[in-house]
Structures are given as C-alpha cells and as structure tokens.
Chain A
Amino acid sequence: LAKTTQPISMDSYEGQEVNITCSHNNIATNDYITWYQQFPSQGPRFIIQGYKTKVTNEVASLFIPADRKSSTLSLPRVSLSDTAVYYCLVGEISRDSSYKLIFGSGTRLLVRP
C-alpha cells in the first residue's frame, strides 16, 4: 500500500515560489505520482503527473528523485488564487490491475497578500 505523507499546511506570500514535498516510501515500480488541487466546495482538479526526474507544465513542476520515495510539487510565483488544498497521490493497482485513487489528507496552502 503506497501511502503518502504531506505537511498539513503551509503559508506563503504572493509572488513566492512554493514547494510542497510528499513522501511515499512504499511506491511500487509501476506507480506514477499525481498531484491534485482542490478549492472549497469543488472537486479536486488534476495538476501534474510524473514517474521520475522532472516534469513541467504550464501550472507547476514536479521533481522526483532517483529513488522515487518522495516528490516535490513546485508552484512558481504563487498568487492569492493558488490558495487551496494540494493532494499527492500514488496509484494503487487493485486485483484486476485497475487503479484506485487513494487521497491522503492533503496540504492546505494559504497564500497571503
């Protein structure tokens, strides 16, 4: 069972870079690492996914070291609208090889003016 551990909360200021680290010591060979963002009263939204090294898209970067036991979501120059809960997930393969998505408690990011 590839459980994840993240900080409960983080504070930042507008314009700063924010790095949220997630540990997943039991990650399996085939597992990908995925991050979601959730605003109040909305369902989570996919941000980024990676397997190893670095992945970048228009929203964020994801850094994964060689041992893959942790990952870091990097949000460049955050704004007030980035205030949200961020979840790190590692895919868990069920008996029939389909993925069931297990969310942890997430990291509550507060961006201040």
Chain B
Amino acid sequence: DVKVTQSSRYLVKRTGEKVFLECVQDMDHENMFWYRQDPGLGLRLIYFSYDVKMKEKGDIPEGYSVSREKKERFSLILESASTNQTSMYLCASSSEGARVTEAFFGQGTRLTVV
C-alpha cells in the first residue's frame, strides 16, 4: 500500500516559534506538495517540489519555506509561527509524468498556534 506519512496529527505551538512539519513518502515519487486547508477555503497550495532540492511557490507561500534534501522527505517550515497559520496542513506526493495528476495524501497535521 502506498503511504504518505506526516510526523504529527496534532501540534500546538506558540506565536513566534519556528515550526517544522515533516512528510515522508515511500513511493519514490518525484513530486511532493504542501497544502493548508481552512473552512470554506478548500485546499490551498503552499509549495511544491518536483525534485530533490527543487521547489516552487504555490498560491500562498508567504510565511512558509520548504526543504527537500532527500527524495522521500519534504519539510514545511514556519519561520515564526503566527495565529493566522492555525490550520490543517496536508502533504501529498505524485509521480512524474505530464499526464499523471493522481496524488496521494497524508492524514494531515492540525496545527494550532497560540
């Protein structure tokens, strides 16, 4: 079974803290994605990576950075957490291919910034 694993299901952090959200996939996928999901707003793409050490901004990259040092791992970093970053964060991966858009998602990390 294919698997995308996010390091935490629930996380509570304080304003100003540096926060790391980790995602690991075991499918040897080239593409990895970070989304946030808020009520009424659907899933919004923060960053994605199409190869090791490569990254591209999504629709809402402000306040976030990412790291992809190994193919299977994609980290989302909140440099200085703020309360408006309280959200559900979802990681996904997909294989390379111009026509393949099937992505596999992790269970999500619900982050609360207090």
Contact = CB atoms under 8 A, between A and B. Distances in A.
Taking each of A32, A91, A94, A98, which has the highest tally of chain B beta carbons within 10 Å of its own beta carbon? Answer: A98
B101 A43 contact: no
Contact of A43 (B44, B45, B59, B92): B92
Closest 6 CB pairs of A and B: A43-B105, A98-B50, A103-B43, A105-B42, A91-B101, A34-B101
B42 A101 contact: no
B33 interface: yes
B42 A106 contact: yes
A100 B103 CA distance: 10
Contacts of B103: 44, 46, 101
Interface of A is mostly: loop
Given A34-B101, A42-B107, A49-B102, A101 B92 contact: yes
20 contacts: A30-B99, A41-B107, A42-B108, A43-B105, A43-B106, A43-B108, A46-B104, A49-B101, A49-B102, A51-B99, A98-B31, A98-B50, A100-B33, A100-B45, A100-B58, A102-B45, A103-B44, A104-B42, A105-B41, A105-B42
Nearest to B103: A101
Given A49-B102, A91-B99, A91-B101, A96 B50 contact: yes
Interface size, A (range): 20 to 34
Contacts of B66: none
A87 B42 CA distance: 9
Interface of B: 4, 30-31, 33, 35, 40-45, 48, 50, 54, 56, 58-59, 90, 92, 94, 96-108
Nearest to A103: B43
A75 B100 CA distance: 22
Interface in A35-70: 41-46, 49, 51
Given A98-B31, A103-B42, 5 more contacts: A44-B92, A96-B50, A99-B97, A103-B45, A106-B42
Contacts of A41: 107-108
Contacts of B35: 103
A94 B92 contact: no
Contacts of A34: 101-102
